[in-house]
């Protein structure tokens, strides 16, 4: 074992393992709820959220990949699966010939409108209802600090400030 490793203290290890448990259980619960409510996966939901946040309901693959922090190929493959379910469609960009836009369809919009209320209720019930306003502020500070550490890693893409 290397002597230059700063091992976690017992308390840090306990907190870290609890964080991993929380992350896994919360993700699984949200995934199950999205599937039950609207037949959407968490990645489907993330794509649809970004498309509905866009005023035109459309984005280029590159922009969507940047917001999702996915590789372009992952976005392209996932969009293909979503197209087969008519949640999105690709529309060629006639203005500049630089490729296609990913556009939310009426079926995709209906899916996210069906999923969003239950998703928000679950997040509120499982996370925010258990916290005081001061704890929410502290939680936000902790998240911001952790994200800043990630953003400052060498060779990492620049930070994204508009994730919802």
Residue by residue, pLDDT tens for the chain (164 residues) are: 557 999 999 999 999 999 999 999 999 999 999 999 999 999 999 999 999 999 999 999 999 999 999 999 999 999 999 999 999 999 987 776 667 899 999 999 999 999 999 999 999 999 999 999 999 999 999 999 999 999 888 876 655 554 43
Sign of the C-alpha dihedral computed for residues 136, 120, 70 and 162 taken in this order = negative
* Per-residue DSSP letter, 129: G
Question: Whole-prediction pTM value?
Answer: 0.85
For 11-151, the fitting CATH number among 3.30.70.2740, 1.10.10.10, 3.30.200.20, 1.10.3130.10 is 1.10.10.10
């Amino acid at each position: 074992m290397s002597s230059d490793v700063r091992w976690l203290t017992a308390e840090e290890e306990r907190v870290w393992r609890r964080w991993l448990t929380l992350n896994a259980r919360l993700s699984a619960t949200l995934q199950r709820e999205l599937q039950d409510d609207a037949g959407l996966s968490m990645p489907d939901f993330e794509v649809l959220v970004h498309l509905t946040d866009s005023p035109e309901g459309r984005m280029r693959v590159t922009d969507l990949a940047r917001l999702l922090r996915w590789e372009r190929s992952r976005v392209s493959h996932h969009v293909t699966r979503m197209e087969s379910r008519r949640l999105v469609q690709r529309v060629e960009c006639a203005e500049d010939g630089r490729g296609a836009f990913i556009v939310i369809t009426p079926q995709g919009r209906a899916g996210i409108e069906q999923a969003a209320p239950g998703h928000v209720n679950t997040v509120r019930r499982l996370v925010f209802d258990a916290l005081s306003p001061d704890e929410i502020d502290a939680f936000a500070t902790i998240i911001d600090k952790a994200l800043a550490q990630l953003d400052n890693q060498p060779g990492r893409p620049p930070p994204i400030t508009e994730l919802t």
